[in-house]
Chain A
Amino acid sequence: DSGVTQTPKHLITATGQRVTLRCSPRSGDLSVYWYQQSLDQGLQFLIQYYNGEERAKGNILERFSAQQFPDLHSELNLSSLELGDSALYFCASSVASADSYEQYFGPGTRLTVT
């Protein structure tokens, strides 16, 4: 158990809908990262927050947004969902915001868009 929690574990929704994925980092970690894992794209970095502020952005679609709250939990919002958004979404956390810190991953949220 990494100490990172993600809810829900599974999510099934229809095209065009909007969903929110939630992540709580390990105790003491200030940085939260979101990754998407799909069969065709592999594991791709989406976005990072550090202590409430956006720190880095990757291949995140405009339909997707995220935020980190004062209690350090984070939410990833996915809107106008398409079939291609079906994937495993991971949240990870680290103590600080730098290359040198290992990231601990949550169990993931499996999103299925039908």
Chain B
Amino acid sequence: QSVLTQPPSASGTPGQRVTFSCSGSGSNIGGNTVNWYRHLPGAAPQLLIYTNTQRPSGVPDRFSASKSGASASLAISGLQSEDEGHYYCAAWDDSLNAVVFGGGTKLIVL
């Protein structure tokens, strides 16, 4: 059972907008910043979002994120077939003194 809760799956069609949720508590998301990763098949995980809303250079602006209280969300607009993979949220947890990941959401592009 992961400290951060993510739905196991999501789906969308090309061009659609999809969102992913990540739920935590005051000791992690509620009190610290959230990062989002994409893990495509056969590749290393990629940082999509850091510090709640910031995109590293090279990440297109169709990826966006927000945080409210102890929850966070990631949105992908203009969905592409290449986006199919797993998406993870992560944050520092003050109670555990550890980086915690969500269980991941598998995105299927129909």
A and B part of one assembly: no
